[in-house]
Amino acid sequence: MPGRGATLRSFIAGQYRSESLAAVFEVADRELLPGVPLDVQVRATLVPLLLPHLTEAIEQVIANQQNSPLSRQFAQALLSYVLNPLDLFSGDGFFSWLDDVMICALGLSRLEQIDLVDLDPHTAACCQVALELLPVLPDPLRDAIEAHVTQAWQKTHP
């Protein structure tokens, strides 16, 4: 049975195969990122490809017994968001994964910044690339993503 990362890769690849980038850019320009430079829209379209790697990194935090129980619980909260079909952003296609990527990247970055976990350089770079999009997201979506990660942190780190 394939793991979550392999399943996500397969599912996301299917979405990329079934939808043209021109259609995706049209949605980005009209709904999610109006007025945002095209290079940023391209990055936003490609960032969902990072989700399988980020979920695998979160699973490693959960499985590593050397991490504190609180850090592992926080990582579980991040992973539960990805697995939950209810999203902060209910877009279609590639963008339906954008909030999941941002939650993972923001959560993993928080764990690393507080020196609770060491991210490998590739995972840290994936988080950085994803989080570069955070400032250009619509305020309600960005605020909801940040609030979700903060609430998960507060629940697991009283």
Looking at residue 122, its pLDDT comes to: 96
- Domain ranges in the chain are 4-156
**Which range is least confidently modeled, 29-33, 37-41, 151-155?**
29-33
pTM for the whole structure: 0.88
CA distance 56 to 62: 10
CB neighbours of residue 10 within 10 Å: 11
User: Which among 108, 1, 8 is positioned nearest to 51, based on CA atoms?
Assistant: 8
Which whole-number Å values give the CA distances from 129 to 28, 86, 109, 122, 137, in the listed order?
Answer: 18, 24, 11, 10, 14
- Give the pLDDT score at 70: 93
Tell me the pLDDT tens digit for each residue of 93-143. Answer: 667 788 899 999 999 999 999 878 999 999 999 999 999 999 998 898 899
| pLDDT score for 110 | 95
pLDDT(17) > 80:
no
Residue 91: predicted pLDDT = 62
pLDDT per residue over 138-152, tens digit each? 898 899 999 999 999
Question: Between vectors from CA 143 to CA 158 and to CA 128, what angle results, nearest 5°?
Answer: 85
What is the residue whose two structure tokens read 């997201």?
137
Residue with the larger pLDDT of the pair 145 and 3: 145
Residues whose CB is less than 8 angstroms from the CB of residue 103 and which lie 6 or more positions away in sequence, other chains included: 78, 81, 82, 145, 148, 149
Per-residue pLDDT at 121: 95
